[in-house]
Amino acid sequence: MQKAVPGICGGTGKGWGANMPQKNELVTLDIIDMAHDGNGVGRLDGMAVFVPASAVGDRLCVRIVKVNRTHCYGRIEQILRPSPDRIEPDCPVSRRCGGCVFRHISYEAELRCKQAFVQQNLRRIGKLELAAEPIEPSPVTDGYRNKAQYPVRMQKGGLCAGFFAPRTHEVIDCHTCKLQPPVFGELLEAVLSYMHTYHVSAYDESLGAGLIRHVYLRRGHRSGQIMVCLVVNGTHLPNENALVDLLLSRCGEIVSILLNVNERNTNVIIGEHSRVLYGKPAISDVLCGVRFELSAQSFYQVNSPGAELLYGVAAEFAALTGTETLLDLYCGAGTIGLSLAHLCRQVIGVEVVPQAVENAVANAARNGIKNARFFCADAGQAAARLAREGVRPDVIVLDPPRKGCAPEVLDAVAAMAPRRVVMVSCDSATMARDCAALAAAGYSPRRCRPVDMFPRTAHVEAVAVLSRLKSD
């Protein structure tokens, strides 16, 4: 951790008046708040200054690096008085990588920040007078990710693999990320060793040339099964058997080695077609007592212990008694609905992605779950189909993508008139907006609880439940 040192700043952060701060100017700044992206916030005569890697309670010497009309950005030059929340960062590339924006503060302080983020969104965006319940900490804070996607590039004359720096396609070379299990780093280095030995080229985005684009790894948290998937700009690798032998010699938990073909000029990582080099096309894992098969394309929460906690909160809020019809919109491969099937009379899952629906049907059959069915439709189509069948859901679960629910989805939910709506969200801002829309349609937000699924990053999940105000 940077030590407090005598100040070198002339400015005090006060008395600017009409004079705007200037680029490269040094100022003394007290950090008084935290922005949702993990940047600390100070103020210069009312103007917000966003400072990466700062903490509430810091007094800093800050160099202004960018000035906008309403706010500016700064970089820490010296820590004049450290926040009591500061700890020594334990990752040498966290500042450059940009993933772990909270690695410089204690986990307790991080949880306070995330609690505040959710509460602020409920009040500022949703205009809801609803107190967020205390945040649920993640059961694990390091090594929790069950999936990693490492871009591989040639930089500065050598092979690099790791993570893209924020807002760039520069690869930060990192093989031992604190968020990944240690075996991922070992497997990544095995792939790089194979590339060196057999002179296998890395992908060059500017030219659209080169072979290996990404090393994609999955690991079942409960099963321990590992998938190694190489995303390539081609259809074959040289000496594929040598690669397989090397990987298996490094790790006995590998059950699937795939070659995924992506020859398009795109930022999408995974291509549509994969070829099995060893083992099976998928791995299996158990979540909330349900076994799932995971292909390279399957969606699966990256923090399995955290997901079980998250779905437990959803179950608590759904308050199922065994007699209800549960509608799981945005059901994906059925993870939430299948985890709740034993608590209700029937589960109906709806998803617009056909492959995900096929996965959900197979997952239900694999686990002998007889009271769940799934079909491919959007929310409006699902509402019309259920109305024709005379089916009315008692509880609807929404687990939308980060952008939240489209207005027509919320209209369809309100038209189906369930007793309760449970919303699981990876973005509390869009959750607050959608809860406000449902409130206007006759649903009262009753509870909201944040759940930390992504320790050391700026992301936080939340679960809310709304109840219908008018009864039949």
The binding site for S-adenosyl-L-methionine comprises 301, 330, 351, 399
- The runs of H, that is alpha helices, within 225-377 are 240-250, 304-318, 335-340, 354-366
Q: Which residue has the tokens 């204690």?
A: 106
Instruction: List 66's β-bridge partners, or say none.
Output: 73
124 Cα distance to chain centroid: 23
Name the residue among 231, 217, 299, 226 with its Cα closest to residue 268. 231
3-state secondary structure 94-135: HHHHCCCCCCCECHHHHHHHHHHHHHHHHHHCCCCCCCCCCC
Spatial distance between the Cα atoms of 472 and 469, rounded to a whole number of angstroms: 10
- The answer to whether the CB of 166 falls within 8 A of the CB of 98 is yes
How many C-beta atoms surround the C-beta of residue 323 within 10 A?
A: 9
Exposed, middle or buried, 97 (CB in 10 Å: 0-12/13-18/19+)? buried
Torsion of CA 262, 266, 269, 270, to 10 degrees: -40
**Burial degree of 305 (CB within 10 A; 0-12, 13-18, 19+):** middle
CA–CA dist 422, 461 (Å, integer): 13
Could you say which of 100, 229, 331, 426 is catalytic?
426
Does 426 qualify as catalytic in the annotation? yes
- Measured CA to CA in angstroms, residue 51 lies from 15, 112, 121, 207 at distances of 20, 18, 21, 36
Token representation of residue 465: 């439940």
Name beta bridge partners: 309.
Answer: none
Contact residues for 210 (Cβ-Cβ < 8 A; gap 6+): 154, 201, 202, 203, 204, 233
Phi first, then psi: what are they for 176, rounded to 5°? -130, 55
- Residues at the binding site are 301, 330, 351, 399
Cβ-in-10-Å burial (0-12, 13-18, 19+) of 39 comes to buried
| Residue 239, helix vs strand vs coil | coil
Q: Which residues does the annotation mark as catalytic? A: 426
